[in-house]
Chains A and B, each alone.
Chain A
Amino acid sequence: MYAFEIERPTTIADAVKAMEHDGAQALGGGQTLIPTLKARLAAPDVLVSLTAIGEMKGVCMSDDGMLCIGAATTHATVAREAAAHFPGLAGLASHIGDPAVRNRGTIGGSLANNDPAACYPAAALGTGAVIITNTRQIAADDYFQGMFTTALHGGEVITEVRFPIPQKSHYMKFVQPASRFALVGVFVAKYADGVRVAVTGASEDGVFRWSEAEAALSADFSAKALDGLSVDADGMIGDLHGSPAYRAHLVKVMTGRAVAAAA
């Protein structure tokens, strides 16, 4: 990989300052960025490591009943510490990558990268989470703007993510077994005022909400409610692992399984 300077701030304020350098790039757990650097697909002048910032780590409940997760919290920690409050999210975190990857990869890194096959974007969009940065709060519906594209500005750092806790939820992933990313993954969340369904891995536009399924499941929260629905293969990802039509089919199958497993 190309040479760079690396900084390891211990406060959010110092990280934001370090990000003011031209060519600065935030480094979360590095489980995507380090392979990217090795492939010389990125060449930052300065890497700002966020994993030494204590105030960006941990899982807690807010006074208004939201689950708050520091952006530098690893998947392994979320899997462990969110289990009692929000089992659907803990279950998602416990199946990202493999154990060693989960000990490094962070929720903030996953959301900032917005890989079209990553798991966390489905949870954030599927719950209507709030992405909190050093300057503002962004609703998940406004945050995801297409494959590897988000509402973040240059130099902006995600510090925390807040999830409204659903009555029932589940994330069902059809694993691409070599990469362990989602070939298709669906997060279903049932709230008092309706159901949200977010799909990752399938669309060329990245994570999206399947609104027809949301309407059907809000009326009847059962896999049967999806019977008459279908997903258009237009705009779905096609690659050696699956055609657009295959992915479109999987969206419905995974949604049904997620509903059946929701708890």
Chain B
Amino acid sequence: MASVAMVVNGKSVTKEVEGRTLLVDFLRNDLRLTGTHVGCDTSQCGACVVHVNGQAVKACTIFAVEADGAEVATIEGQANKDGSLNVIQQAFQDHHGLQCGFCTPGMVMSAAALLKENPKPTEADVRSYLEGNICRCTGYHNIVKAIMAASGQDVTAIAAE
């Protein structure tokens, strides 16, 4: 067992974990932050994307001890302080950027990472950035639309086909 300490959504946590404990299992099982989903568990689908020191990573493919000392952000920390949805979350709701919702936490976290790097992405930029986030319901059109809208750009021209 090893001791890990990290700041998750602004709160300091310290726990004992096994070496093989994945960050996603630490978040879900030890911290009970079950908003981060495990879809494929093989780093393909992106449902488990969280931010470690501000960077999007697949939480199923990093050990908890590797995030020792890091700042971790998950979907639970994304809402505004008053509990209302943040700009990206609200845009997903407004533009119906989800159907079953399973991939949505990863989509929102990837979108947040993209918009931090590239505040006014083109549609092609968004689609390229979402290469590692798989949705089996929506066909991506409304996800892309939501992210474009969250960046403050006009989305009326992006019609779902």
Choice from A1, A3, A31, A99 contacting B131 with Cβ under 8 Å:
A99
Choice from A8, A31, A38, A97 contacting B65 with Cβ under 8 Å:
A8
List of A residues within 8 angstroms of B133 by Cβ? 98
List of A residues within 8 angstroms of B55 by Cβ? 76, 103
List of B residues within 8 angstroms of A76 by Cβ? 55
**Interface 1/0 per residue, A187-215 and B, CB below 8 Å:** 00000000000000000000000000000
Choose among A1, A2, A101 the residue with the greatest number of B CB atoms under 10 Å from its CB. Answer: A101
Q: How far is the CA of A47 from the CA of B65 in the complex (A)?
A: 11
Q: Which of B42-50, B74-82, B89-97, B146-154 contacts A (4 or more CB under 8 A)?
A: B42-50
Q: Which of B5-13, B28-36, B56-64, B136-144 contacts A (4 or more CB under 8 A)?
A: B56-64
- Say yes or no: A104 contacts B62, CB within 8 Å: yes
List of A residues within 8 angstroms of B61 by Cβ? 30-31, 34-35, 101, 104
B18 contacts chain A at the CB level, 8 A cutoff: yes
- Say yes or no: B19 contacts A100, CB within 8 Å: no
Q: Which of B95-150 contact A (CB under 8 A)?
A: 110, 113-114, 129, 131-133
| A-B contacts at CB below 8 angstroms, number | 74
- Say yes or no: A99 contacts B132, CB within 8 Å: yes
The dominant DSSP class at the A interface is loop
B41 contacts chain A at the CB level, 8 A cutoff: yes
Known contacts A4-B20, A31-B61, A49-B66; decide if A38 and B132 are in contact (CB<8 Å). no
List of A residues within 8 angstroms of B110 by Cβ? 99-100
B157 contacts chain A at the CB level, 8 A cutoff: no
List of B residues within 8 angstroms of A99 by Cβ? 56, 110, 113-114, 129, 131-132
The residue on A at minimum CB distance from B21 is: A6
The residue on A at minimum CB distance from B117 is: A99
Known contacts A30-B61, A31-B43; decide if A101 and B132 are in contact (CB<8 Å). yes
- Say yes or no: B20 contacts A98, CB within 8 Å: no
List of B residues within 8 angstroms of A52 by Cβ? 66
**Interface 1/0 per residue, A233-257 and B, CB below 8 Å:** 0000000000000000000000000
The residue on B at minimum CB distance from A35 is: B42
Choice from A8, A30, A100 contacting B49 with Cβ under 8 Å:
A100
- Say yes or no: A34 contacts B62, CB within 8 Å: yes
- Say yes or no: B63 contacts A34, CB within 8 Å: yes
B2 contacts chain A at the CB level, 8 A cutoff: yes
- Say yes or no: B56 contacts A6, CB within 8 Å: no
Q: Which 5 A-B pairs give the minimum distances between C-beta atoms?
A: A98-B132, A6-B19, A103-B55, A98-B131, A100-B56
Q: B residues near A, CB below 8 A?
A: 2, 18-20, 22, 41-44, 46, 49, 52, 55-58, 61-63, 65-66, 68, 110, 113-114, 129, 131-133
